[in-house]
Structure 1
């Protein structure tokens, strides 16, 4: 299109005045089309206009006729724009060369092309409009409990909250958990856990990871357990429907015990290799399954290792409100004396997500 315009203007000086006026009219019509974008929908509609922003599950498009419209990604067949884009994981502007079969072909400053899944794009916008990284905040809270009074008295609480804060290429994952068991046989066995993971997406699928966790668990004689580490991860996919990532690295682990006499040492500290993976999948009818696991292996002793995992199902009840069934598993190969190596727990509760 641009070559047509340039040829028209190159012949301008050698054209008679009446023809020149006609060429002005043609150029005036052609030039706007050269800059315009086209949004093609699965129903066959084509909407001319400009891209405003691509979000996780929809696209905002400025139509020449209707103004700003919001379209779900699943209804988009292809998207064409001549504007350079800011893509998560890339600091430099990128040009969209093609949109085919739900994939974007992109070319950035370094000149090499790469392909990215269109549904997996969390945020993209015209580079000229990029003045700062947007902040995206998601999360969920869940609670379950058992309360009995009469012949048996029992109170069990299990409350958790998880937050996902995304600021451009940085993802902040925060997890909290509180448990309390109180009955005639067990008195106020409490558990607190706080975790924080930082991910920096420096390429399309790769991210640098920093992780930390702090734990107090009276049932396992742990006064304070802390882990901190660095690693590298790979994001296979991350959409509203499904996500899967793995990571590995090195951690520093320290454990202090409530009753030191139940352990060989009053506290222990060691370096450990860490592997972790996270998976979730949301079915079309609404339920979502998830599975995550972490393994810590001491670099000094092959017998000193521990692992924890969660597998669960979240089923929406009404908008934002869900029912959650979760199975949690913990294993410590070198626990305190009188403590079992393995702990399991099944919970059924309600929660809220946004």
Structure 2
């Protein structure tokens, strides 16, 4: 019996800190869970009984949190708090090196700080589109895009890929795929070094295969529960293959990776782009970009809207291709 009581006590001690945050609502209800973030007037609270819920900030009477939070108030810079304690109606006590009671209405953002060294963290998205037309021509197009990143300690693995196929009147007119793997090594909270390899194949273009091996420094401006922004510069070795031969050359590239959660994590705005300047006299630059918006239907399902722009500039002329993707996806 004593062993059972001690085991239960140890389990309670280990589990309870994960759900140590409490929110009191203006109508008298009380919710327990883990504060994910506050942004855009919405508090995201992760609960054991209902998953992640969004609470209007104006409906909260007071709250308590035993974990550190980055806090932003109107007209002030961000400040760090070791914990928040419940106070009077519409108030909260901010505890750090000093203690201050402030109105909830003055707080515009709460974000848990993210440590530099972390255990295994895995996130990703997979978006799919299916387009079928039955007019004068029968046209079927389907496309899948995905990305995944794994972080552990000072290492980060990034895998992205896409697959596209299209048929018209039963005849295949488009068949291509692309896969890229990047390995990042962080030196501190901002600076890292990236080494990556990419391969793409297209059975209906002049160059049927492309391989890129690159390496270079990267700078992370921020990475927290609200999103991230990375900027990477690389020196690349590019190989293009066609049915008539192959061509190899060097290029310089600048790439960004941006993600921002809005409306209490319900919306996700993201953008990825790469500008390549090849050492070819006939080509000034190659620009490949995507801008998207995802709406989270629940904890895993996404409704996605994506705009892609591919542009090549050379010999005084520009050639552009634009694509739109509306579909469903999953996220983790």
- Report the TM-score range of the alignment, normalised by the length of the smaller protein: 0.5 to 0.7
**Structure 2 counterparts to residues 98-177 of structure 1, below 5 A:** 119-122=112-115, 134-149=119-134, 151-177=136-162
1:331 paired residue among 307, 311, 314? 311
* Conserved 8 A contact 2:262-2:268: yes
Q: Could you give the per-residue CA deviations for residues 85-114 of structure 1, whole angstroms, max 9, x where no partner exists? A: xxxxxxxxxxxxx8799xxxxxxxxxxxxx
* Conserved 8 A contact 2:293-2:306: yes
5+ residue gaps in structure 1?
1-39, 44-54, 59-68, 81-97, 102-116, 125-132, 261-265
**Structure 2 counterparts to residues 1-354 of structure 1, below 5 A:** 73=69, 78-79=81-82, 119-122=112-115, 134-149=119-134, 151-184=136-169, 187-257=172-242, 259-260=243-244, 266-285=245-264, 286-301=266-281, 303-333=283-313, 341-354=319-332
More strand by share: 2
* Conserved 8 A contact 2:128-2:142: yes
Deviation at 1:211, TM superposition (A): 1.8
Corresponding residue for residue 19 of structure 1: none
* Conserved 8 A contact 1:78-1:100: no
Using the alignment, how far apart are the partners of 1:212 and 1:246 within structure 2?
Answer: 17
* Conserved 8 A contact 2:125-2:329: yes
* Conserved 8 A contact 2:68-2:112: no
CA RMSD, 1 decimal: 3.6
Q: Could you give the per-residue CA deviations for residues 57-76 of structure 1, whole angstroms, max 9, x where no partner exists? A: 79xxxxxxxxxx98584689
Using the alignment, how far apart are the partners of 2:190 and 2:255 within structure 1?
Answer: 16
Deviation at 1:142, TM superposition (A): 0.9
The alpha-carbon distance between structure 1 residues 41 and 141, as it changes in their structure 2 partners (threshold 3 A), is: closer
Deviation at 1:245, TM superposition (A): 1.2
5+ residue gaps in structure 2?
1-19, 24-34, 38-43, 45-64, 72-78, 84-95, 100-109
Deviation at 1:223, TM superposition (A): 1.4
TM normalised by structure 2 equals 0.64
The alpha-carbon distance between structure 1 residues 209 and 226, as it changes in their structure 2 partners (threshold 3 A), is: same
Corresponding residue for residue 108 of structure 1: none
Deviation at 1:314, TM superposition (A): 0.4
Corresponding residue for residue 113 of structure 1: none
TM normalised by structure 1 equals 0.61
How many residues were matched structurally? Answer: 246
The alpha-carbon distance between structure 1 residues 120 and 225, as it changes in their structure 2 partners (threshold 3 A), is: farther
Using the alignment, how far apart are the partners of 1:182 and 1:79 within structure 2?
Answer: 59
